Every structure is written in C-alpha cells, then in structure tokens.
Structure 1
Amino acid sequence: MSESRELREKLEETQAELRRAREHLEKLRVYQARERDSLQQQLEGARREVAGLRGRLEELEAEGEEPAPSASLVPPEPAPVVEERPHETGTAIVALVRNPTSLEQAMPALSRVLKLAPVDVRFRLAPMPPAVVARLPLSQAEELRVALRAEGFLAVSCPVERREKASPVMVKQFVLEEQALSVEGTLGESLRVRYAELRLLMRGRSTVAQWETQPEVVSVGGTGLFQIPVHRAVRVRHEQLELFLWVLGKGARLAFTQVTRFTGLGEQRAPSVFENLQRLANELQRRAPHVVLDERFLQMPRFVLPQVDEEQSQELLAELLLQAIEEGLWL
C-alpha cells in the first residue's frame, strides 16, 4: 500500500512539473506573439513616415524649392566607434562526472545550485557522463564547480579555447621505446611522453568537413534565348569520416590518424588504419596498464555537447574525461 502511495506521489509530482513547463512555454509563446505584433506596428509606422517624407520631398522638388532640412531627413551623427575589448577571461564548461545515485533526492540541491528548473536539470543530465550542465565565464565556472563539489556532486570544468589552440598534435610517425612513446608531428614537432604519464586513450571516428570552391554557371537577364550565362564561384561543403586514436596525458595531446605511419608497430603492423589504431591502443594499454580506454566515439562520429560547437565537442569531452581521471573521479 505504501509503495503504491509513493508511486502515486511521484506521478503527481511529475505531472505538476510538466504542467509548470507547459505554462512556462505558453507564456513564452504569448510574449513572443505580443512582441511580434508590436514590432510589426512599429515597422508599418516607419513605412508610412518614409512614404510621407518621400511625397513631401517630391512636392518641393516640383516647386523648384530647396527642401529645408528636417530633423527626420538630416542624417544622425555617426556614433563614436567603441573598440570592443576582447574577453579577458574566456568561458568554461562545467560537467558532472557521474549522475547522482538518486536523482530525485539530489534534485532540490542541483536545481538550487544550477539555478534551473528540475525539468532542465534532467534534460542536461540525460547524455552519457560527463554531462555538461553549464557554460560560464571562467571565474563563474570555477565557483559553480566548487559549489557542486560542496554539495557532494563530482563536478569538473574545462576551458573552451579556440580550436587551433586546443587541437592535439597530429602524429606523422612514432617509436614505441622501452619507457616512453616518442612521436614526430606533421608540422615537425618532436615529443617524448613517458608511459607513466599517459592517462586516457580515446579511439573513435569523427566527421570532418572540408570546403571546396567550385565554378558554377547561372543564367540571368530574362528568359529563354535572352538569358546570359554568368560564371561565379561557390563554396561546397564535403564531409567524410576519419578514424583516430587520441593519446592524452600530462602535457601531451596526441592524435594518430590516417596520416600516421604505423611502422612503429613493427611486426604488429596491419594493412588497415582501423586495425593499426586498435593494435596501437592495445600496445599502449599493455605498457601503461593504468590508462583508461574510451571508445564511445566509434559509435558517435557526430557528437555534440550542449552549448558547444560540434567541431569542438569531441575534444572538449576528452578534456573533461582527462580532468576527471587526473582528479581520481573516473572509475
């Protein structure tokens, strides 16, 4: 009897939360409709004013008079150019490494700390952990991380940097030494990472977009025989899937891809990139048993983190995982 009462209470709470969400959405619709009507009225008024001024100007020109300057016709003085200062702090994403054991019990604290409605909290915790719950300026992100930790939630944060700055080193060739991994990058970089410093291996696929400029011929100026062909350049987007193995550790961000020469595997070298990446991951795990292997991106080449561009989502999730591993929060 008590169990059915608890289920009924939970059902009533969920229904009440859904009603509140519907009411909130309805208020938003009404507000948007009201704003749209107001803007439409302002637009119509501006059009009428322009039409009146144009008619007055035509009358004055027809009479041969110099139109007197009007406040509506005199162009406004140009606004002073204010040089925008670059963001000094940047932004960071905050994520929960693991969802609470009982989300219902944790919901009041999460809703209060995140300043979100329970339905929004559930929505942000729906993806596979680490689940991003906010993107804020660096100082505010750190405050939120500390506040979540104080409530007992395993939270980590990661700065969102420009992709060219945060991208890993693309490995051209490598050598598996006895105590370290020695690599040469495609841009001539030379790195040596001890196996003891490795923390995370991420094997997967990513969708890479490339833009190509192609000529196109269009016809303008009439119909039929009177059309004139015009040549112009258009940008065409091409997408392809690329396999990768990311090796992350203390001060190391390495990417093994199709451009990597796998001669460093020696006799283990395989004919396909897929097998070579798998065998390299296995060999690194053998030499560094403490390393964590994550292969979720093999099934999710198109992966998007909330509030983050798709092109950066995979790399930022890897950084969140690395942060969690380094702090001993990822089991």
Structure 2
Amino acid sequence: MSETRALREKLEEIQVELRRTKEHLEKLRAHQAREREPLARELEAARREVAELRIRLQKAESAGSLPPPATGIALPEPGSGERSLEATTALVALARHPASEEAAMPVLSRLLKLAPVDVRFRLAPMSPKVVARLPIARAAELRAALRAEGFLAVSCPVGPRAAAGWVRVRQFGLEEQHLSVEGILGERLRVRYPELRLVMRGRRISTQEETEHVVESHHHAGMGHHRVHRVVEVRQEQVENFVWVLGKGTRLAFTQSTHFNGLGDELASSVFENLQRLANALARRAPHVAKDERFLQMPRFTLPLVDQDRSQELLAELLFQAVEEGLWP
C-alpha cells in the first residue's frame, strides 16, 4: 500500500506541474500576441513617415532647393516598410533590474503603457532589459522619462549593421599604444586602447538559406522515365566563436576568419583559445574595459522586439551605451 500511495502522490505532483506549465505557455502565447500589435502600429507609423518624407523631398527637388541625391544612395522604395522601421526606430532598455520590482511595476506600467504582466515579461531577460521599441524621437522621450523616475535607462537605434560601422577583422597588431586592424574589405584602423569600452566574447548560431537545384527521376506507366527539376530551399546552421570590441566610433568583430599572428608568442593552435588570449591581451592593455562572456552560453540569444539574428549585436550596443554612461557594471 505504501508503494501505491507513493506512486499516486508522484502522479499528482506531475499533474500539478503539467497544469502550471500549461498555464505558463498560455500566458506566453497571450504575451506574444500583445507584442505583435505595437510592432504593427510602429511599422505603419514608419511607413507613413517615409511617405511624408518622400513627398517633402519631391517638392523640395521640384522647387530646386535641394541637390539631386548622391550617386549610389537610394531613397526608400514603396513597400520597404520593414527596412524603414529599422532605420527609424530605437530600443529603450534598463541597464539594471529595478532595486524593487514591486515598487517599479506601477511606474513602468504607466510609462510603457503596458499591463503589469507584460512589464514583467520585459524585465525577465538578462540586462540590459529591453522595455520598448519606438520611433527615435519617442524613444528619446521615453528614455528621459524613465531617467526622471530614477531608472537607469539607455537607448540605441536599430539600424543596418553596415551603417553601425562594424569591421570584420582579417588581421591585427597589438601595438604599445594602440590596436591596429585590417578588415576583410581592406579597411585599416588604429584604435588607442583608452578609447576601448567593451570586450564581448561569445558564440553565435547563424542560419543560411541556400537554393539548390534537385533532379528527380520519375517513372510513369507507358511513358518510361523522365526527369523533373525542382528548386528547394536548404537551411544550414553554423556556429561561430567571436570577440567583439566596442569603443568610441569603433566596432570590431574578431572571428574564425581572423588571422591571429598578431598574438605573437601567445599564438595557440585553436581559434577558441586564440580568441580567449586576444580578450585577455586587450584586458591587460586596457584594464578599464568592461568584459562580458554571457554569449558563450547563449549562442541562440533572443532579445525582445528584435529579430533573433540581430539580438546579440543590439544587446552589445545597449551594453556599450550603459558602459559609456557609467551605468555598467
């Protein structure tokens, strides 16, 4: 009887846990549905803003008050709402979790115009905690309002990575006073160590979609064999180790494509070890820099209100802003 009772109690515990899991999943689904609504409104607002800017530009050009656009710079095309949303929005985040979440909830709920349950979801991920994505002007207003209430708020625009000035490093040199790098596109930079602010080491999983042509052989009764050509989409995942170095006007990505001869006598046999030694070498030459290695354990990190393939990069930008303003660590 005692064994039967123990099994019954275990079954009841499992049933309770299943009910809790189901309730949590239902809350997550409801939260995701609510997240889509403000993003859709922001996308529509961005589209209207682009349309208004195009009309104003056309009027100015017809009046002869503006020179024609420079060669190679294209105006947003109709239907490019997603790209426009990226170019005109910014993330607002809390650099640190509120000291008292209960005391902060009503204030955050009022400023963010969100229900308390949604605010709690925004505060759940690691810091900096993204609480909103808004048009740039409104993001600046929200950041100021949060600061006025005592929250350590930071903000960064959500723009194309190329516009942020990221350089993928081919080779580098650890000079006495500065770091010299050459990018894979031929860029050459010399960055003084005091200008560095943040060194992030981690891994990321990137998904590449490729198109392949497949030839299949089919047999039909009375018709023999014939070949059918099909085009299929193939998704491939790739794990890449990296060290990101951020400073004033500097965004450097050291990856598996980097040559590590600049380490000199510290050169190791594996990319993983070379990236670790590079991070250590930079820390010795710039002891003031903030170091972060959380992405080593989170290659699939997802940031709220952001596509997954941009999540790590944009968290790095927010973290850089927090370091630059003395809010981190």
Q: 1:169 to 1:223 in 2, by over 3 A?
A: farther
Structure 1 runs (4+) greater than 6 angstroms displaced: 219-227
1:323 maps to which residue? 321
Measure, in 1, the Cα distance between the counterparts of 2:305 and 2:142: 16
Measure, in 2, the Cα distance between the counterparts of 1:187 and 1:111: 46
| Residues 174 and 263 in structure 2, CA contact (< 8 A), matched pair in contact too | yes
1:245 maps to which residue? 243
Please tell me the residue identity of whatever aligns with 2:122.
R
Q: How does 1:224-263 map to 2 (within 5 A)?
A: 228-263=226-261
TM-score, normalised with respect to structure 1: 0.72
Measure, in 2, the Cα distance between the counterparts of 1:321 and 1:83: 34
Q: 1:234 to 1:285 in 2, by over 3 A?
A: same
Indicate the percent of aligned positions where both proteins have the same amino acid.
Answer: 66
What's the offset of the Cα at 1:83? 5.2
Question: SS at the partner of 2:210?
Answer: strand
Equivalent in 281, 292, 312 of residue 290 of structure 2? 292
| Residues 179 and 194 in structure 1, CA contact (< 8 A), matched pair in contact too | yes
C-alpha deviations, 1:83-140, integer Å up to 9, x for none? 5697496001111011111111111111111111111111110011101111110011
Q: How does 1:59-74 map to 2 (within 5 A)?
A: none
| Residues 111 and 145 in structure 2, CA contact (< 8 A), matched pair in contact too | yes
- Structure 1 window deviating more from structure 2 (264-273 vs 233-242): it is 233-242
| Residues 180 and 193 in structure 1, CA contact (< 8 A), matched pair in contact too | yes
Q: How does 1:170-209 map to 2 (within 5 A)?
A: 170-209=168-207
Unpaired runs of 5+ residues, structure 2, are 1-22, 34-76
Measure, in 2, the Cα distance between the counterparts of 1:263 and 1:192: 17
Measure, in 2, the Cα distance between the counterparts of 1:328 and 1:297: 22
Measure, in 1, the Cα distance between the counterparts of 2:176 and 2:306: 39
- Structure 1 window deviating more from structure 2 (174-183 vs 156-165): it is 156-165
What's the offset of the Cα at 1:315? 0.5
What's the offset of the Cα at 1:164? 3.3
C-alpha deviations, 1:162-208, integer Å up to 9, x for none? 23333620111111110100000010000000000000000000112
What's the offset of the Cα at 1:227? 6.8
What's the offset of the Cα at 1:212? 2.8
Q: Does 1:127 align with 2:125?
A: yes
Please tell me the residue identity of whatever aligns with 2:243.
L
Q: 1:273 to 1:223 in 2, by over 3 A?
A: farther
Q: 1:84 to 1:265 in 2, by over 3 A?
A: closer
| Residues 197 and 246 in structure 2, CA contact (< 8 A), matched pair in contact too | yes
1:152 maps to which residue? 150
Q: How many residues align?
A: 256
1:265 maps to which residue? 263
C-alpha deviations, 1:286-322, integer Å up to 9, x for none? 0100001100110000111111111111110000000
Measure, in 1, the Cα distance between the counterparts of 2:146 and 2:220: 66
What's the offset of the Cα at 1:269? 0.3
Question: SS at the partner of 1:169?
Answer: strand
Measure, in 1, the Cα distance between the counterparts of 2:197 and 2:227: 59
| Residues 167 and 315 in structure 1, CA contact (< 8 A), matched pair in contact too | no
Q: 1:273 to 1:225 in 2, by over 3 A?
A: same
For the pair shown, which has the larger CA radius of gyration, 1 or 2? Answer: 1
Measure, in 2, the Cα distance between the counterparts of 1:212 and 1:91: 30
Measure, in 1, the Cα distance between the counterparts of 2:92 and 2:248: 21
Measure, in 1, the Cα distance between the counterparts of 2:265 and 2:221: 67
2:163 maps to which residue? 165
1:143 maps to which residue? 141
Q: 1:221 to 1:153 in 2, by over 3 A?
A: farther
TM-score, normalised with respect to structure 2: 0.72
Measure, in 2, the Cα distance between the counterparts of 1:140 and 1:255: 31
Measure, in 1, the Cα distance between the counterparts of 2:267 and 2:247: 24
| Residues 171 and 260 in structure 2, CA contact (< 8 A), matched pair in contact too | yes
2:310 maps to which residue? 312
Please tell me the residue identity of whatever aligns with 1:192.
R
What's the offset of the Cα at 1:240? 1.1
| Residues 165 and 250 in structure 2, CA contact (< 8 A), matched pair in contact too | no
C-alpha deviations, 1:225-269, integer Å up to 9, x for none? 667431123231111100000011011100111111111110000
